[in-house]
Chains A and B, each alone.
Chain A
């Protein structure tokens, strides 16, 4: 089955830029979505179609893709951005989630 790989954890200082990577062997061919999940809460969509932000998502959240690696970037990271972040694609009639990256601020 298709797998998306994420680092288990990333630590960033408040105000700095956080980058969270997601890799998959055909990621370059598939639109990527990103979700954040704070402890005890439901996931929230923060990026869709590789780079688009839903309404209400702050501009400090952005994303990019190069080859088979997608990257979520949080500019000017705030303590409230501390959460688990998941990448996701649709592959062979299935939603596939990465294992998640815990961002510590």
Chain B
């Protein structure tokens, strides 16, 4: 069945950077657009970034634009998120999720998330 597995989280010092990965399996990766969404402890869901199935177009949330970069390697069935200048507000569980067609179809498969903790 379709599965997404995130990795790359951990403890990062303020001002640092990291790259999160999301590996897809069980479906045709190139048929789907992909997104990154995060959830701070005890808080709601916050969308961060979106990339088309081809990887040619992307959008970012205003709250993180300029600090994050989304990319994908379709040959490796992988999605990435680079985050720079990390601060305490970036502490969260980071999820990748897939979507098909247009946004009205929703995000139908989510990974289990990878936890990022920003602390000195």
Q: Closest B residue to A93 by CB, please name it.
A: B59
Per the 8 Å Cβ criterion, residues 62-105 of A in contact with B are 84, 86, 88, 90, 93-100
Q: A42-B95, A43-B45, A100-B45 are in contact. Are A94 and B61 (CB under 8 A)?
A: yes
Chain B residues with CB under 8 Å of A45's CB are 106-108
Whether A86 contacts B44 by the Cβ 8 Å rule is: yes
How many chain A residues touch B (Cβ–Cβ < 8 Å)?
Answer: 25
Q: 5 nearest interchain CB pairs? A: A90-B103, A31-B104, A95-B47, A33-B106, A48-B106
Residues in B lying within 8 Å of A, measured CB to CB: 35, 37, 44-47, 50, 59, 61-62, 95, 97, 102-108, 110-113
- 15 additional A-B pairs beyond A45-B107, A49-B105, A100-B45, beta carbons within 8 Å, are A33-B104, A35-B107, A37-B45, A42-B95, A42-B113, A43-B45, A43-B107, A90-B103, A93-B59, A95-B35, A95-B103, A96-B47, A97-B44, A97-B47, A100-B44
